[in-house]
Structure 1
Amino acid sequence: MTGWIDAHHHLWDLNAVHYPWLMARGVERFFGDPTPIQRDYLLDEFQSEAVPCGVRASVHIQVGAENALDEARWVQSIADANPIWPIAQVVFCDLTTSDLPTQLDNFQTLSSVRGVRQIVGRAPGEDAQTGTNALLDDPGFPRGLREAEKRNLSFDLQLIPELMEKTARVLAQAPDIRIALCHAGSPHDRSPAGLKKWAQNLRALSNLPNVSCKLSGLGMFDHNWTPDSIRPIIEECLEQFGPKKVMFGSNFPVDKLYGSYATLAQAYRDLVPTEAHSAVFSETAARFYDLEVHWE
């Protein structure tokens, strides 16, 4: 039996790790009202939703803990306690910090760590308030990417379409690190004109040989999504990157705000061509994150 790998999901235990954004009550986020997910979301609940859909392994992505190392150690404890569930993790680390080698040394004592995520852009409104996009102007950022690459760590890239061309120029300064583009590049404007501009900007990243793409998080900017509404995004990503550089991710429990895992999985199963299933739902993620899977 073969299985799927969910290449982008989150877990959290609010008693074990503090997540300031998650516990901020009454604060609307770019992806909507987080109230329904302001509670523990543990591996057993994730498995109860994902396993019936064929998922047999996963990649945990950092999710804004107050202390990134605490979060990484907690995720490692989950991996250690569930040896029959292959799980890798992507941690948060500020790649511009002066003690980067020491921080990466600490993370790399954890066997599940495969990469780093430092968000470049979430959504235009939030980015304008937080100044997150300024990371692209910091000369320490490409230096940090090169340091991560020397350690065989990958980088999960979250940004918005308006930043793709500038980001591609920055990434050219670290041409060897493996990049996973989160959420198909967050096409937040779903109008025909918005999707056309997203597809044009996406070329700046898909033309880079070291960049792969995650089909994940598509509900964050389309809460009432349907298979037809996300079809153009999936088709464009497959056309630009090719199935061997595309991977499925649920973005649960965030995308749980917009529908069930079963509904999401079925939509992807139907929209991704059958001949691309093995790559998109398993092989790309296993290769990218060096995730050992032994299907029964």
Structure 2
Amino acid sequence: MSRYSQMPIVRSVRHKPGQAASPAEAASHPSKMMDPQWRQGYRLVAENGLLFDLQVAWWHMREAVDLARSYPQQTIIVNHAALPSDRSPEMMQGWSRAVHELAACQNTVMKISGIGLPSVPWRAENNRLIVETLFEAFGSQRIMFASNFPVDSLCGSYDDIFGGFLEISRDWSPDEQSDAFIGTAVRTYGLEESLLSRVAAPARAYGTETSRP
């Protein structure tokens, strides 16, 4: 782990700690996040100055909350919006409660990626609720848009996905858009701040303007 931490291109460790098949099974089938041996490895990630990218379903967010509170100095980046694949009203309510609970932990960041639906073209109207809920819960400075390419090419092109993010965020302020499109990623992963000045504002880059000053 210490060798990885010394590599300039390595910023974070990504892991899938396993998950129950449904919310009803989560209590009796916890992920490895609750395993003491797993947490020993997690502690090594933190001690070596690496971030942690977590991919797990939203019904394990209480375990993620426990992890975040147990290691408050470690940043957790939750991948794929905590996997809200079932868009039924009941499941979306459960997802919303889970991500709001996680958002109370200030050492967590949400990566909005991988939210396309199987066999359904990527459209803003299908994903607006996901993005707006996470924007409300975490604020612009703790969310980041990501493509999940090439996997998400199954549901849309790169322009479809980022054009959709732009459409959803068109009423955000320029600073809020900049956070979600690049700023949060630069700050969280410790990338060169010069990237911020070299990248055009998202609205201008796509040939439109946000409607709010």
The one-letter code sitting in structure 2 at the alignment partner of 1:274 is W
Matched, 1:278 2:175: no
Cα distance in 2 for partners of 1:161, 1:210 equals 17
Check conservation: 1:142, 1:171, Cα contact below 8 A. no
**Structure 2 residue corresponding to 1:170, chosen from 36, 44, 67:** 67
Check conservation: 1:160, 1:188, Cα contact below 8 A. no
Q: How many residues align?
A: 188
From the two aligned structures, give the one with the greater helix fraction.
2
**Structure 1 residue corresponding to 2:13, chosen from 116, 131, 143:** 116
Check conservation: 1:122, 1:158, Cα contact below 8 A. no
Check conservation: 1:215, 1:246, Cα contact below 8 A. yes
| Structure 1 residues 228 and 178: CA distance shift in structure 2, 3 A | same
| Structure 1 residues 286 and 254: CA distance shift in structure 2, 3 A | same
The alignment partner of 2:77 has SS state of: strand
From the two aligned structures, give the one with the greater strand fraction.
1
Q: 1:214-229, aligned counterparts within 5 Å?
A: 214-219=111-116, 223-229=120-126
Matched, 1:105 2:2: yes
Q: 1:79-228, aligned counterparts within 5 Å?
A: 104-121=1-18, 124=21, 134-219=31-116, 223-228=120-125
Cα distance in 2 for partners of 1:289, 1:221 equals 30
**Stretches (4+) displaced over 6 A:** none
Q: What's the CA shift string for 1:117-165, capped at 9, x where partnerless?
A: 111247838xx9xxx9541231023333332222221000111011111
Tell me the CA shift for residue 252 of structure 1: 0.2
Check conservation: 1:176, 1:210, Cα contact below 8 A. yes
**Structure 2 residue corresponding to 1:238, chosen from 135, 148, 159:** 135
Q: What's the CA shift string for 1:3-40, capped at 9, x where partnerless?
A: xxxxxxxxxxxxxxxxxxxxxxxxxxxxxxxxxxxxxx
Q: Please, what TM-score do these two structures have when normalized by structure 1?
A: 0.59
Matched, 1:292 2:192: yes
The alignment partner of 1:167 has SS state of: helix
| Structure 1 residues 133 and 252: CA distance shift in structure 2, 3 A | farther
Structure 2 unaligned spans of 5+: 199-213
Structure 1 unaligned spans of 5+: 1-103
Query: Which residue pairs with 1:262 in the alignment?
Result: 159
Cα distance in 1 for partners of 2:110, 2:119 equals 19
The alignment partner of 1:172 has SS state of: helix
The one-letter code sitting in structure 2 at the alignment partner of 1:236 is T
| Structure 1 residues 112 and 133: CA distance shift in structure 2, 3 A | farther
Cα distance in 2 for partners of 1:158, 1:137 equals 15
The alignment partner of 2:74 has SS state of: coil
Cα distance in 2 for partners of 1:177, 1:115 equals 11
Q: Which piece of structure 1 moves more, 168-177 or 253-262?
A: 168-177
Cα distance in 2 for partners of 1:257, 1:181 equals 22
**Cα root mean square deviation, aligned:** 2.2
Q: Please, what TM-score do these two structures have when normalized by structure 2?
A: 0.80
Cα distance in 1 for partners of 2:114, 2:139 equals 19
Cα distance in 2 for partners of 1:222, 1:135 equals 31
The alignment partner of 1:124 has SS state of: coil
The one-letter code sitting in structure 1 at the alignment partner of 2:42 is L
Q: What's the CA shift string for 1:26-80, capped at 9, x where partnerless?
A: xxxxxxxxxxxxxxxxxxxxxxxxxxxxxxxxxxxxxxxxxxxxxxxxxxxxxxx
